[in-house]
């Protein structure tokens, strides 16, 4: 018994000591001052906390929300011909749901539909925002690409048919116009002031859910994923339908256009990209003025300069753009730029990395005389060139007559003549390129872009030969076509 009491007493002393220690630690945490005469504990940090709380986005939503629109695109398609002998699809679906087996001929034939013109169907949903009070709306080029009709819905549910003023695929920026006035435009922010780690917000229509608000932080800037612009990387939730919507900073200013996501599933995975608004505005102003974007070019093929390349060429540090090829007759060739040169500066602007050069050259007005500084054989050399005009891939061919086209109704094909450039690229003497596919040709697997070089035992070198061969082919008999698709040639059997 005495021994037990002694143990309890010792445990009691330990408990009191522990409480005292905890109290002292708590006083230290809350900043209690030490008693007079007592030694002050060593100071850990006198800095104030960097964060005081999470942001409230409600004011931003009220401010910017009225400027964000939903964009719906429509395309006209030819309705598929229905087989009058086919069973009624609604009845077939009824039996399918309940797992009832269907013997042949068990269902009634579907109703025959009269011939109709093209049908309209929704092609996609995206977002946009009011660029100016007189009805200009900014969005992504891929949102309106290929659309026969663009419909803009304002937050107050008013709908307008929009006209595509212009679209630039290289920067993925488009400008559309609606017949409306008195709209509330967004305020344009300064991308240079945007910092990594800063809170940002997005408003858009993911999966068609209008006026959806998401938020996150800026994950990185100057992320190189495009030809002519670096992207803003964020962790803001962006999904299909958000494309073209604004990325907004905490001052209620638009700093980017939500454009892309990195995903292995097709949905948001924590990484999204926005077009910097300064680049987008530069493109939009050109689209507004002329409907297209004019860019400069100098005619060089480039690659990055890494540490090994810099050391081998005697460059003090990696940087610039290594010229690996120069186009004959180009501005660069006329100025004396040679393969192996490293372009360090262009028109007074430093080339820190190779991706800077096409962006700086592209933003230079064609016809401008620009100074170029290159590194050649261990020393810098100054050259001068006149910037040329970048020819967009979608630009029309030189002013010549339109390529001849022809339709083969029984086959469901529309074909056109090959251009000289296409013949050189494909290394063929002739043939016809498939422009449109429908009916039997689509069923057989032909695609737009295929090149028909033979029909039966006949060689096809032109649209005229194709028309004659189809006209002479026995009616109702399957047609064998020899086609080129990429580097492969194959026979395709089309049953009219």
Task: Inform me whether the pLDDT recorded for 347 exceeds 80.
Answer: yes
Which is it for the CA torsion 474, 477, 482, 486, positive or negative?
Answer: positive
Q: Which residue has the higher pLDDT, 163 or 413?
A: 163
164 shares its domain with 209 = no
> 241 labelled as ligand-binding?
yes
Residues 214 and 245 in one domain: yes
**Residues 180, 174 contacting (CB under 8 angstroms):** no
Are both 480 and 423 inside the same structural domain? yes
pLDDT-based confidence at 396, cuts 50/70/90? very low
Least confident of 70-79, 181-190, 379-388: 70-79
Final residue of a structural domain among 389, 416, 449? 389
Query: Does the pLDDT value for residue 327 go beyond 50?
Result: yes
- On whether residue 141 sits in a domain, the answer given is yes
Q: Is the residue at 160 inside a domain? A: yes
- β-pairing verdict for 432-437 and 413-417: antiparallel
140 annotated ligand binder: no
**Pair (167, 202) in one structural domain:** no
**339-360: average pLDDT:** 91
Q: Which of 419, 393, 476, 1 is nearest to 170 (CA)?
A: 393
For residue 456, the model assigns a pLDDT of: 78
Please report the pLDDT score of residue 12 as a whole number: 40
Whether pLDDT at 127 is above 90: yes
Q: Whole-angstrom Cα distance, residue 171 to residue 169?
A: 5
The 3-class SS string of the chain reads: CHHHHHHHHHHHHHHHHHHHHHHHHHHHHCCCCCCCCCCCCCCCCCCCCCCCCCCCCHHHHHHHHHHEEEEEEEEEECCCCCCCCCECHHHHHHHHHCCCCCCCCCCCECCCCCCCCCEEEEEEEEEEEECCCCCEEEECHHHHCCCCEEEEECCCCCEEEEEEEEEECCCCEEEEECCCCCCCCCEECCHHHCCCCCEEEEEECHHHCCCEEEEEEEEEEEEECCCCCEEEEECCCCCCCCCCCEEECCCCEEEEEEEEECCCCCCCCCCEEEEEHHHHHHHHHHHHHHCCCCCEECCEEEEECCHHHHHHCCCCCCCCEEEEEECCCCHHHHHCCCCCCEEEEECCEECCCCCHHHHHHHCCCCCCEEEEEEEECCEEEEEEEECEECCCCCCCCCCCCCCCEEEECCCCEEEEECCHHHHHHHCCCCCEEEEEECHHHHHHCCCCCCEEEEECCEECCCHHHHHHHHHHCCCCCCEEEEEEECCEEEEEEECC
Residue whose C-alpha is closest to residue 413's, from 371, 459, 382, 444? 444
Give catalytic status of residue 142 as yes or no.
Answer: yes
- Is 173:284 a contact under the CB 8 Å cutoff? yes
Q: How confident is the model at residue 226 (pLDDT cuts 50, 70, 90)?
A: low
In a domain, 36, yes or no: no
What is residue 324's predicted lDDT score, i.e. its pLDDT?
Answer: 80
Structural domain includes residue 338: yes
| 413 & 382 share domain | no
**Per-residue pLDDT reduced to its tens digit, 397-411:** 343 445 667 777 778
- What does each C-alpha distance from 134 to 24, 180, 248 come to in angstroms? 67, 6, 22
Give the pLDDT of residue 80.
54
d(CA 72, CA 258): 17
> What is d(CA 88, CA 110) in angstroms, rounded to the nearest whole number?
4
Determine the average pLDDT of the residues in 115-130.
73
Domain boundary among 290, 316, 335: 290
Which one is predicted more confidently, 2 or 312? 312
- Asked if 212 and 144 sit in the same domain, the reply is no
Tens-digit pLDDT profile for residues 273-295: 999 999 999 999 999 999 999 99
**Rounded CA gap, 72 and 127, in Å?**
8
Check whether residue 375 and residue 437 sit in a common domain.
no
Measured between alpha carbons, how far apart are the two ends of the chain, in Å? 109
- The answer to the question of residue 244 being in a domain is yes
In terms of domains, do 265 and 301 share one? no
pLDDT-based confidence at residue 170 (cuts at 50, 70, 90): confident
Q: For 15-24, 319-328, 341-350, 431-440, which range has the lowest pLDDT when averaged over its residues? A: 15-24
Average pLDDT of the chain is 80
**Do the annotations mark residue 142 as ligand-binding?**
yes
CATH code of the domain covering residue 231:
2.40.10.10
pLDDT over 90 percentage in the chain: 39
Per-residue pLDDT at 422 exceeds 90:
no
Last residue of a domain, one of 132, 154, 177: 177
Name every residue whose Cβ is closer than 8 Å to that of residue 287 and which is 6 or more positions away in sequence. Answer: 165, 166, 167, 168, 173, 174, 175, 293
Q: Which of 243, 259, 272, 354 is catalytic?
A: 243
Is the pLDDT assigned to residue 161 strictly greater than 70?
Answer: yes
Rg of the chain over Cα atoms, rounded to whole angstroms, equals: 33
d(CA 373, CA 346): 7
Indicate whether 260 belongs to any domain. Answer: yes
Highest mean pLDDT among 231-245, 300-314, 418-432, 471-485: 231-245
Q: Is the pLDDT of residue 37 over 70?
A: no
Residues 171 and 235 in one domain: no
For residue 448, count other CB atoms closer than 10 A to its CB: 11
Asked if 363 and 312 sit in the same domain, the reply is: yes
Co-location of 172 and 195 in the same domain: no
Q: Residue 78 sits in which domain range?
A: 65-99+118-177
Domain total of the chain: 4
Q: Does residue 4 surpass a pLDDT of 50?
A: no
Given a cut of 50, whether residue 21 has pLDDT beyond it is no
Please give the average per-residue pLDDT across 296-309, as a whole number: 88
Same domain as 343, residue 251: no
The answer on pLDDT for 106 being more than 80 is: no
User: What does the pLDDT look like over 246-278, one tens digit per residue?
Assistant: 999 999 999 999 998 887 766 778 899 999 999
Percent pLDDT > 70 in the chain is 75
Catalytic residue among 67, 168, 172, 354: 172
Query: Given pLDDT bands bounded at 50, 70 and 90, which one contains residue 48?
Result: low
State the pTM of this model. 0.62
> So what's the pLDDT on residue 440?
86
**pLDDT for the residue 16:** 43
* 395 lies in some domain: no
Domain presence at residue 304? yes
Query: Is the CA virtual torsion 285, 290, 292, 295 positive or negative?
Result: negative
Q: Check which CATH number belongs to the domain holding 385 and give it.
A: 2.30.42.10
pLDDT over threshold 90, residue 102: no
Let me know if 243 is a catalytic residue: yes
């Amino acid at each position: 018994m005495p021994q037990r009491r002694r143990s309890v007493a010792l445990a009691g002393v330990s408990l009191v000591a522990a409480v005292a220690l905890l109290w002292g630690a708590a006083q230290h945490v809350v900043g209690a001052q030490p008693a007079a005469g007592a030694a002050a504990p060593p100071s850990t940090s006198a800095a104030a906390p960097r964060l005081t709380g999470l942001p409230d986005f409600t004011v931003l939503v009220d401010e910017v929300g009225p400027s964000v629109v939903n964009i719906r695109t429509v395309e006209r398609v030819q309705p598929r011909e229905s087989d009058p002998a086919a069973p009624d699809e609604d009845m077939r679906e009824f039996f399918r749901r309940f797992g009832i087996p269907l013997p042949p001929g068990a269902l009634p034939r579907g109703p025959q539909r009269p011939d109709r013109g093209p049908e309209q169907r929704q092609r996609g949903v995206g977002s946009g925002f009011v660029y100016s009070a007189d009805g200009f709306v900014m969005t992504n080029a891929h949102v309106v690409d290929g659309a026969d009709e663009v419909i803009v819905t304002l937050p107050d549910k008013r709908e307008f048919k929009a006209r595509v003023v212009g679209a630039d695929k290289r920067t993925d920026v488009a400008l559309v116009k609606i017949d409306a006035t008195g709209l509330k435009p967004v305020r344009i922010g300064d991308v240079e002031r945007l910092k990594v780690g800063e809170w940002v917000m997005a408003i858009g229509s993911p999966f068609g859910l209008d006026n959806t608000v998401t938020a996150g932080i800026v994950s990185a800037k100057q992320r190189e994923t495009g030809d002519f612009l670096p992207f803003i990387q964020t962790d803001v939730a962006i999904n299909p339908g958000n494309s073209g919507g604004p990325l907004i900073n905490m001052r209620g200013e638009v700093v980017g256009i939500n454009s892309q996501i990195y995903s292995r599933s097709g949905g948001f995975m924590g990484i999204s990209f926005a077009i910097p608004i300064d680049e987008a505005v530069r493109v939009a102003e050109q689209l507004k003025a002329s409907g297209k974007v004019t860019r400069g070019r100098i005619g060089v093929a480039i690659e990055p300069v890494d540490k090994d390349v810099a050391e081998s060429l005697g460059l003090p540090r990696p940087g610039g753009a290594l010229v690996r090829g120069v186009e004959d007759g180009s501005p660069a060739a006329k100025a004396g730029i040679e393969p192996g040169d490293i372009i360090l500066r262009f028109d007074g602007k430093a080339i820190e990395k190779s991706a800077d050069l096409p962006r700086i050259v592209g933003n230079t007005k064609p016809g401008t005389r620009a100074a170029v500084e290159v590194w050649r054989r261990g020393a810098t050399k100054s050259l001068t060139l006149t910037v040329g005009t970048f020819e967009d891939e979608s630009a029309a061919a030189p002013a010549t007559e339109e390529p001849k086209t022809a339709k083969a109704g029984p086959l469901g094909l529309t074909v056109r003549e090959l251009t000289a450039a296409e013949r050189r690229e494909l290394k063929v003497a002739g043939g016809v390129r498939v422009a449109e596919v429908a009916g039997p040709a689509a069923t057989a697997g032909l695609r737009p872009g295929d090149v028909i070089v033979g029909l039966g035992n006949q060689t096809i070198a032109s649209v005229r030969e194709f028309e004659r061969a189809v006209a002479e082919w026995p009616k109702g008999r399957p047609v064998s076509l020899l086609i080129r698709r990429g580097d492969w040639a194959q026979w395709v059997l089309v049953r009219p």
